[in-house]
């Protein structure tokens, strides 16, 4: 059975801190790993990673995939209160039609 | 603007009642999905549809039904057989084919039991 595990499940940091969120997976015929941010209702897309070792960046957020270790990290530098959200990791496979999501990491950034 | 519209935002269900959640998209996407989100549980797949007039069960389909009569619409019915329906329901859509895994989400419907 495919599995996506995120850690930690929740995290509280102070504004300005750097955080690292983890996602590990066991998926048959892995195709890609995606990160989403869910602030209130609709998850919004952050990154899609298919190749190992290539970092994707968007402002203060970055992510990298390690296909050997079957994992990915999402880094947020100089955190702001607006970064408070649930961060969802999802994996797709060549033998499935829908994304398989982890439980999410709930991040709270305090002033 | 293209997007996915879910309605209503909030819904209350009485004991033994069937309720239907609406999902409409104007992104011209072939694939549509329904996920259920419970606190601390992430997103779990209920049903998905790759093409009009065809749909498949996801991991937690029991107590739910769907239809896909039009490309734009994928309504979800929560039946009285679903004993624990209180949750946040998210509809999503995507293109189909390789490298089209990216899902676009609606704003969700919060369903509660009276």
Q: A98 and B33 in contact by Cβ < 8 A?
A: yes
pLDDT digit string, tens, across residues B20-65? 999 999 999 999 999 999 988 889 999 999 999 999 999 999 999 9
Residue B46 tokens read as 């209920």
Whether the CB of A42 is below 8 Å from some CB of chain B: the reply is yes
**B73 to chain A, closest Cα gap in Å:** 18
Contacts of B83 (CB under 8 A, 6+ apart): B63
**Contact between A87 and A105 (Cβ < 8 Å):** yes
Q: How far apart are CA A63 and CA A50, in angstroms?
A: 11
Q: How far apart are CA A79 and CA A15, in angstroms?
A: 5
Q: What angle do CA A48, A32, B52 make, to 5 degrees?
A: 95
pLDDT digit string, tens, across residues A56-96? 999 999 999 998 999 999 999 999 999 999 999 999 988 77
Q: How far apart are CA A32 and CA B24, in angstroms?
A: 27
Q: How far apart are CA B68 and CA B71, in angstroms?
A: 7
Q: What percent of chain B has pLDDT over 70?
A: 96
pLDDT digit string, tens, across residues A22-59? 999 998 889 999 999 999 889 999 999 997 878 899 99
Residue B113 tokens read as 């039991």
Length of chain B: 114
Whether the CB of A41 is below 8 Å from some CB of chain B: the reply is yes
Q: How far apart are CA B41 and CA A88, in angstroms?
A: 11
Q: A44 and B42 in contact by Cβ < 8 A?
A: no
User: b/e for B83-100, b at 16 or more Cβ within 10 A?
Assistant: eebebbbbbbbbeeeeee
Pairing verdict, β A105-110 and A10-14: parallel
**Contact between B19 and B63 (Cβ < 8 Å):** no
Query: Which pLDDT score is estimated for B1?
Result: 62
**A66 to chain B, closest Cα gap in Å:** 19
Cβ-Cβ contacts under 8 Å, B33 against chain A = 98
Residue B76 tokens read as 């979800």
Which of B8, B33, B38 shows the shortest CA–CA distance to B21?
B8
H helices of chain A, in order, are none
Query: Does residue B98 surpass a pLDDT of 70?
Result: no
């Amino acid at each position: 059975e495919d599995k996506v595990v995120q850690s930690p499940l929740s995290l509280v940091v102070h504004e300005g801190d750097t955080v690292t969120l983890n996602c590990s997976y066991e998926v048959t015929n892995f195709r890609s790993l995606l990160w989403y941010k869910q602030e209130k209702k609709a998850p919004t897309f952050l990154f899609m990673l298919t190749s190992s070792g290539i970092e994707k960046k968007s402002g203060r957020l970055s992510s990298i995939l390690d296909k050997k270790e079957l994992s990915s990290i999402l880094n947020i530098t100089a955190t702001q209160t607006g970064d408070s959200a649930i961060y969802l990791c999802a994996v797709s496979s060549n033998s499935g039609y829908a994304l398989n999501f982890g439980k999410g990491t709930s991040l709270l950034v305090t002033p | 603007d293209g997007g996915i519209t879910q309605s209503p935002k909030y819904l209350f269900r009485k004991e033994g009642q069937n309720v239907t959640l609406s999902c409409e998209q104007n992104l011209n996407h072939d694939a549509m999905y329904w996920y259920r989100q419970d606190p601390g549980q992430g997103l779990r797949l209920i049903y998905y549809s790759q093409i009009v007039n065809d749909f498949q069960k996801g991991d937690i389909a029991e107590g739910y039904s769907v239809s896909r009569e039009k490309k734009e619409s994928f309504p979800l019915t929560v039946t009285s057989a679903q004993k624990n329906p209180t949750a946040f329901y998210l509809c999503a859509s995507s293109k189909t084919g390789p490298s089209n895994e990216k899902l676009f989400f609606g704003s969700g419907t919060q369903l509660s039991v009276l």
